[in-house]
Amino acid sequence: MSARSIFSLLDRVGWTKLRHARFLVAGLGGLGSQAAYYLAAAGVGKIGLVDFDVVHPSNLQRQIYYRAGDVGRLKAEVLAGRLAELNPEVDVEPYNVKLSRDNGLEAVGRYDLVVDGTDNYPARYLLSDACVIMNRPYVFGSIYKFFGQVSVLSSQGGPCYRCLYPKPPPPGTVPSCADGGVLGPLPGVVGCIQAWEAVKVFLGFGRPLIGRLLVMDLAAMDFAEIPISRNPECPACGENPTIQELQDYDIFCGINPTPSEKEISPLEVKNMIAHGEDVLLVDVRDAVEREICRIEGSIHIPVDRIWEMLDALLEHEKVVLYCHRGVISRMVSEILREMGYGNIWSMKGGIEGWAETVDPSTPVY
């Protein structure tokens, strides 16, 4: 189909159909907020916005539809207001809830398709399973550092998310956007592609990314496609599916809701220092982050150099690692403990947790 015939089709039928479309955007961070904004501009009739989080200062550099004055407000409410300002004809429904096995099917069932802007594995498996059960297309997107992925799953006999990733990675091995480091343009690009794929698959034109995973390396500006196919043995969408209802996805992904014995709270760290205990506080972030803020008395060993300093760390009774939010430091401490370094701990919540519970004057980014 030529470009002229595509736009002719949209002129006659597409725009009317789009005005009656119902899209659910789950996760309103860099991907979801971007996709939602462009879908509202395109004239999608109803857009559901799902996120239980509030706007944090660290969100602002890559989630550009939030402002400094929005910090502390619910993302779903803020973004709903932005979309209403952009296009008053769009019916926007904000949901300040966390999707779960109890509400996932009902939420997905109200809409024609789902755009996934979440950044954690339990949410992705939940949304994918719900889309398979409710027969809804699932527009998947993910980002990490300079890399992005997009695909249209659970649509037209194509694969689902479980076909692409049958098992989740071990807990804590994949940092979030805030911990892994993502610059604003990347989620902007990926979120726009997700919005475009959602429009294409809903209107039934072009060549949606069904059975194809688009992989982007924006540092090199390389785009590649990886063919993916439905797994006949898939427990969700295979020939003999066993998943007929939603489950506890935190348990499925191996996430332990109880605090890790390898973690120590910022208040505990403060008390240990105050009582003169032999504790070494190590900042494992990169130099740019340390210039923004640091904990007084800590030393700086970037995570890629910590292996060179292991002998020096053994000289102290306790070594507490900290990063931005506690994810990377926990990963490193767990590896070192498995290697036999039992005096290594991770400060829960990282320097952001320190700012919240110990020293509010610490800059947050």
As a whole number of angstroms, the distance between CA 178 and CA 62 comes to: 10
**Contact (Cβ atoms closer than 8 angstroms) between residue 118 and residue 27:** yes
Residue 13 tokens read as: 């039928």
Question: Considering Cα of 338, then 342, then 348, then 354, what sign does the dihedral take?
Answer: negative
How many CB atoms neighbour CB 361 within 10 A? 7
Strand partners, 344: 319
b/e sequence 320-354, b meaning 16+ C-beta within 10 Å = bbbbbbbbbbbbbbbebbeeeeebbbbbbbbbbbb
Query: Looking up tokens 């407000």, which residue turns up?
Result: 73
Query: Looking up tokens 């039992």, which residue turns up?
Result: 342
As a whole number of angstroms, the distance between CA 101 and CA 248 comes to: 6
Known catalytic residues? Answer: 177, 323
Contact partners, residue 358, CB within 8 Å, separation at least 6: 266, 267, 269, 270
Listed residue (117, 82, 79) closest to 99, CA to CA: 117
Residue 313 tokens read as: 């760390």
**Contact (Cβ atoms closer than 8 angstroms) between residue 350 and residue 325:** yes
Beta strands in the chain (DSSP E): 22-26, 46-50, 91-95, 113-116, 138-144, 147-153, 212-217, 222-227, 263-264, 279-283, 299-300, 318-322, 344-347
Write phi, then psi, for 222 (nearest 5 degrees): -105, 135
**Contact (Cβ atoms closer than 8 angstroms) between residue 318 and residue 277:** yes
Question: Considering Cα of 292, then 295, then 300, then 306, what sign does the dihedral take?
Answer: negative
Note the maximum CA span of the chain: 76
